[in-house]
Structure 1
Amino acid sequence: MRTRPLATYALVAINVAVYAICVAQARTGDFYGFVDSSVFNYSTLTPGDIADHEYWRLLTSGFLHLSPIHIGVNMISLYILGTMLEPILGTGRFLLIYLISLFGGSAAVAIFAGDNTATAGASGAIYGLMGAMLVIVLKLKAPAGQVIAIIAINLLLSITVPGISLVGHVGGLVFGALATALALYIPDLVIGRQTPTVPLRKRATGTAWAALVVALVVAVALGIAAPALR
Structure 2
Amino acid sequence: MDQAAGGSPQGGAQSLPVCYRHADRETGIRCTRCERPICPECMVSASVGFQCPDCVRGGSGTGHAPDASRPRTLAGGTVTADPRLLTKILIGINVAVFIAVHAWPSLLDDLFLLGVWPPAPYTPTEGVAEGEWYRLVTSMFTHNEIWHIGFNMLSLWWLGGPLEEALGRARYLAVYFVSGLAGSALAYLLASPTTATLGASGAIFGLFGATAVLMRRLNYDMRPIIALLVINLIFTFSPGFNISWQAHIGGLVAGVVTGYAMVHAPRRRRALVQYGTCALVLAVVVALTLLRTAQLT
- TM-score, normalising length from structure 2? 0.65
Structure ID, larger Rg: 2
Number of the residue aligned with 1:10: 89
Alpha-carbon distance in 2 for matches of 1:64, 1:52: 20
Alpha-carbon distance in 2 for matches of 1:224, 1:144: 37
Alpha-carbon distance in 1 for matches of 2:100, 2:290: 27
- Structure showing the higher helix proportion among its residues: 1
1:216 CA displacement: 2.8
Number of the residue aligned with 1:46: 114
Q: Is the 8 A contact 1:106 1:171 kept in 2?
A: yes
Q: What root-mean-square deviation, in Å, do the aligned CA atoms of Structure 1 and Structure 2 show?
A: 1.8
* Pair 1:127–1:229, CA change in 2 (3 A): farther
- 1:92 is matched by which residue type in structure 2? A
Deviations 1:11-38 (A, max 9, x none): 0000001111111113xxxxxxxxxx22
- 1:205 is matched by which residue type in structure 2? A
**1:79 maps to which of 154, 157, 161:** 157
Q: Is the 8 A contact 1:103 1:220 kept in 2?
A: no
Q: Is the 8 A contact 1:102 1:124 kept in 2?
A: yes
Q: How many positions carry a matched residue from both structures?
A: 206
Alpha-carbon distance in 1 for matches of 2:270, 2:280: 15
- 2:141 is matched by which residue type in structure 1? F
- TM-score, normalising length from structure 1? 0.83
Q: Is the 8 A contact 2:258 2:274 kept in 1?
A: no
Q: In the alignment, does 2:260 pair up with 1:169?
A: no
Number of the residue aligned with 1:210: 276
1:111 CA displacement: 0.7
Deviations 1:25-70 (A, max 9, x none): 13xxxxxxxxxx22x1111112222222211100100100011111
Deviations 1:163-212 (A, max 9, x none): 1111111111111111111222232xxxxxxxxxxxxx353333322322
> Which gives a bigger RCO, structure 1 or 2 (Cα 8 Å, sep 6+)?
1
Q: Is the 8 A contact 2:183 2:248 kept in 1?
A: yes
Runs of 4+ in 1 over 6 A off after TM superposition: none
Q: Is the 8 A contact 1:99 1:216 kept in 2?
A: no
For the residue of structure 2 that corresponds to 1:54, the secondary structure is coil
Alpha-carbon distance in 1 for matches of 2:294, 2:144: 29
Ranges in structure 2 where 5+ consecutive residues have no aligned partner: 1-57, 59-78, 117-126
Deviations 1:131-175 (A, max 9, x none): 011111112222211111111100101111421111111111111
Q: Percent identity?
A: 38
Q: In the alignment, does 2:215 pair up with 1:137?
A: yes
Alpha-carbon distance in 2 for matches of 1:105, 1:12: 18
Number of the residue aligned with 1:61: 139
Alpha-carbon distance in 1 for matches of 2:262, 2:295: 28
